[in-house]
Structure 1
């Protein structure tokens, strides 16, 4: 007796769903470069800006967000989730520069820098974690700075704000790993962006005891940014990290000298390293 014909079953493959990426500060510089690079590779990218209506050349949607206002962050995330089912990657890129002798830097400007560079990313993470916990997965990348690994003269507040974020994320990673959430810090060196034009400069005061040294250092810092690397390098690294199953905690992107300065900070005696920085900035 012949066996009855077997029923044929067909496995239907789920349609490809591109990863959804949220980039804060996506209207210019590194954020814009990352967004364009990921968009070209099929990611669903949403960027943010304080004034998205002023940006007319973005290849990906820009949402209004102020990282210092929780209501604004929550509204932007809700808008994204009204269009897509999940947020796979968050890139905390929004930040501000600040320079000046710490003695002469207004307290209000110090607070503003920390509000944007430290509290801002933490606010965004707090707002997106419930969704990532619900998904059981997510990846949060934080753009910090090589300057956050050392106290740099006339850039101390900026260095401190980025260092605070680096250390806080180290702790937060361990708190959220149980939810399937990854966190990664990416520290860039100098890149050719408009950060120098947008940062707060304490004025070089005529009667200031810091006038000569600060003036010279400020000029050097601006030249470093003007002659910095292509932001595309950062975009490629972000893409590589997103596609890495088990990414490292810390990445550095910059010139060999900038990255090597972190190694020297670890191995040299404190005063030797300090003397090296003083010489580099022409302060001795």
Structure 2
């Protein structure tokens, strides 16, 4: 495979690593020349792309790629990549076989703590999640026109080396916000990479929840990380009276349990199916710092 990752950031790095581990060629885009140097240090062929028309170098690369992962979030004006490739996908990428789109479980909205699956109708409550639904649909349409599979990976809260409760506890920024009945799913970043490779190798399209097995209260993760560090967790704070930014508070407006049964039944095996084993691995290996 010759894989291009548009928006090769935290998740993109993990996706690149797992494809590279099987000998596949990986290229990626970032917004600045400095970030391009960081990709090159990871043996990822780097291109600068900020939504402007493709450079000649990037156009040449697109003619060679066989797989695309789109990780750039849409803005109020839509998906910046779609604007440039819509209706021209096979003209620009004549060897393309598969598209993966990184979406979010935020598209399901609030279900009062109930379970949701890929069959659950989307009812997003936040603007950024509404944009994701529209973009998923648009990529699906492009795939139908080009007669190729498009997989939408709906991701839950992403964490892993360099982004986790240990880091927050060390920095003193971890907070134990208590909202009765509130649960979240989460996903270890390496499992995002594994899921993308699994779907690409299987030439699989459709919607897939890429999330852990165990939705749970966010404060429990903080307590478990503090236990492993052998420190006291931060004090509990009531959600109703806690000093939070509007953005932080908005995340608590969607309460649901997200099922990963579909991708599991297809044969994918998560390396880190719950936060306890994942935190224990990061702590014991020392990889939590990134």
TM above 0.5: yes
1:125–1:190 Cα change, 3 Å: farther
Aligned residues: 190
**Is the contact made by 1:21 and 1:88 (CA closer than 8 Å) also made in structure 2?**
yes
Report the secondary structure of 1:191's partner residue: strand
Counterpart for residue 27 of structure 2: 46
**Structure with the higher helix share, 1 or 2:** 1
* Cα deviation digits, residues 195-244 of structure 1 (max 9, x gap): 99xxxxxxxxxxxxxxxxxxx79xxx9x969xx43211010011011110
Question: Do residues 253 (structure 1) and 213 (structure 2) align?
Answer: no
Question: Once the 2 structures are TM-superposed, how far is the Cα of residue 131 of structure 1 from its aligned partner?
Answer: 3.5
Change (3 A) 1:151 1:65: farther
Aligned counterpart, 1:176: 146
The counterpart of 2:107, out of the listed 148, 165, 178, is 148
CA deviation after TM superposition for structure 1 residue 61, in Å: 1.9
Partner of 2:17: 36
Work out whether residues 72 and 79 of structure 2, in 8 Å CA contact, stay in contact via their aligned partners in 1: no
Q: Is the 8 A contact 2:110 2:254 kept in 1?
A: no
User: Which deviates further from its counterpart, 186-195 or 160-169?
Assistant: 186-195
Write out aligned runs for 1:161-200 (5 A).
Answer: 161-177=131-147, 181-192=148-159
TM-score, normalised by the number of residues in structure 2: 0.55
Instruction: Quote the offset at 1:77 in angstroms.
Output: 2.7
Aligned twin of 2:190:
232
Which residue matches 1:122?
Answer: 82
1:191 and 1:229 in contact (8 A); partners too: yes
Match of 2:43 in 1: 59
Q: Deviations over 1:68-93 (max 9, x none)?
A: 22x1x354532425xxx621001101
Bigger mean CA offset, 235-244 vs 45-54:
45-54
2: CA distance, partners of 1:279 / 1:89: 33
**TM-score, normalised to structure 1's length?**
0.56
Instruction: Extract unaligned runs of 5+ from structure 2.
Output: 112-122, 165-176, 216-251, 257-290
**The residue matched to 2:26 in structure 1 has which SS?**
strand
Separation in 2 of the partners of 1:94 and 1:167?
A: 16
Decide which structure has the larger Cα Rg and report it: 1
CA displacement, residues 107-140 of structure 1 (integer Å, 9 cap, x when unaligned): xxxxxx234xx322313543643143x44x5211
Contact 1:145 1:186 in 2 (8 A): yes
